[in-house]
Amino acid sequence: MSFAGKVWRLLVGIKDALSLIFLLLFFTALFAVLSARPSPGAVREGALLLDLDGTVVEEVSPIDPLTTLLSSAVPTQEYAARDLVRAIDAAKDDKRIKAIALDMSTFLGGGLVHMIEIGEALDRFRAAGKPVLAYAVAYTDDSLLLAAHASEVWVDPMGGVAIEGPGGKNLYYAGLLDKLKVKAHVFRVGTYKSAVEPYLLTGMSPEARENYRQLYGSMWQEWQANVNKARPNARIADVTGDVTGWIAASNGDLAQAAIAAGLADRAGTRVEWGQRVAQVAGEDRWDDTPGAFAHSELEAWLADRAPSTRGPAIGVVTIAGEISDGDAGPGSAGAERIGGLLDDALSSDLKALVVRVDSPGGTVTGSEAIRRAILRHKAKGIPIVVSMGNVAASGGYWVSTAADRIFAEPETITGSIGIFGVVPTFEDTLAQFGVTADGVTTTSLSGQPDVIGGLTPDAQAVLQATVESGYQRFLGLVGQARGKTPEQVDAIGQGRVWDGGTARQVGLVDQFGNLDDALAYAAAQAKLADGAWHAEYLGAGQDRYAPLIRRILRRNGEARGGEASGGDMFALFARRQAGLATRVLADMRGMLQVRGAQARCMECPAPPAMPGADGAEAASSPLRFLARLLLD
């Protein structure tokens, strides 16, 4: 009994010790989560620091804690454009905020519409008599567009300005596919539906070139007009015309060349910029790091200035990213997830619904599922308004046909009314290695589509008919929504992409305006008084794990010190080039993954390139890249 008692006491002791350890771990984790959340108490008198160390997006993507921790890579920071605008507008009238410190040392960019919206918010802040001080090492199109709205633009002495302008070269794989004897069976409707041209041609078709010139020309004019309005003395022609002569005039000093062109005001290190901010906003009494200044972080500021929930609600559902059939997102538009959000809101007393679209489209079935979910709200008799962001093309326009009124910006990219599908087959490729396909079939569609043995004529006919019937369906939806005949829609369809200004002229858009304008219109249609309603974003919620995960993964050496950490002009160009492998991988996946007929604008300008697993893998290991390509 004595021995058994000792064993029992030992087991009880082990159990108690384990319980204590787990309790300690639990409370430690709980403390970490709570401390990682933004606290309104962290708001201090001084500057509002907008340290944009990532990308500006329509909808922030959630972080998968397990995957991220296993990868040991710090996720790219994303900022919702509406959060930045809300933060700036709230700071405009708050006496605690003396200035905005706009640090874009590691800014990766965003869409043109978002940049202009944030720039306009900065103008409103300055109109209140408060300065905006911007800093970066290497300015490019997006960061320069924001900096143009600043009171003072600082550039690091080791940096400069490089204006790229919209456009660039696409990759064409027809020659490669011919050498590999891969057959890319393309099914499409639309003279201008150039999304599939990389698999068919070795260069751009005349129709696609015409469309691109018109689209990019309009975007380029809008960018220049916005910068010139904010900085009338800016000489953009010097920077984009004779680049070599412009640099030589400043003896090769890119920072001084930027100042000479009126695109920057002062050259200085981040420490010197911080000291200048401290002169305006005050010194940081708790931080003696060189260049420190009194400030409030963005997350704490947003937590302190929560939006009003007074009055009835106008629902806002966001369709951002590629449209798919599943539950993907936020940050991508999974039709099952978005449809679920809309159906859950049917029981709510929403007075109107605003659909915010920032999507190049995706699957036809996913687009139609979202449209039908919107129509279920329309059946309740409430106003339905669409607000277009950077891109609302193809499937993004498909879902917009459910609206009573469509708002867009002149810089919005829309249209691309067309359908396509791609099915690759490898019968000729495998035959070179002695691999053939054989079997018993009962009909001409048995085993189709057969990527090993090839497509039968009947299978090709079925797939082409699917695309054509989908296009006719698309024309009918647009015609019914816009009061046009299918023939009239076809004349402005055919896959052609339009800028927002031209889209309004051809009748695809009702009026110019941002999300706030769309909300105000919806409120007026619902007969709600000004200020007596609030916007309710369906499915919106803070990712509670993101700050904690970033804190865990961020090494001590990654914290920004006194000097710039964004890299010089070489780093800027290298970052652009790093996106090439990701683009190749995406193009190949687009051909190899058969996901049904697509209402997708692949020719629309891509979002800013972000460092990612695919791109890093492709760049670091060509063999792994090819292996994954084949396995996918």
Catalytic residue positions, numbered = 193, 394
Which positions ≥6 away from 37 have C-beta within 8 Å? 303, 542, 544, 547
Rounded-to-10 torsion of CA 440, 444, 447, 448: 160
Residue 260: left if φ>0, alpha if ψ -120 to 50, beta else—which one? Answer: alpha
- Phi and psi at 116, nearest 5°, equal -70, -40
Is 355 in contact with 387 (CB distance < 8 Å)? yes
Distance, CA of 452 to CA of 100 (rounded, Å) = 60
Query: Which residues 6+ apart lie within 8 Å of 559 measured at CB?
Result: none
CA distances from 254 to 251, 366, 498 (A): 9, 48, 36
Q: How many angstroms separate the CA atoms of 357 and 400, rounded? A: 8
CA nearest to 402, candidates 418, 384, 419: 384
Residue type, 620: S
Whole-Å CA distances, 300 to 101, 263, 282, 297? 15, 32, 19, 6
What is the spatial distance between Cα 611 and Cα 614, in angstroms, rounded to a whole number? 8
CA distances from 447 to 187, 430, 596 (A): 19, 18, 17
What tokens were used for 155?
A: 């550039």
Peptide bond into 424 cis (omega under 30): no
Q: Tell me how far apart the alpha carbons of residues 624 and 473 are, in angstroms, rounded to a whole number.
A: 42
CB distance 427 to 454 below 8 Å: yes
- DSSP annotation of 235 reads -
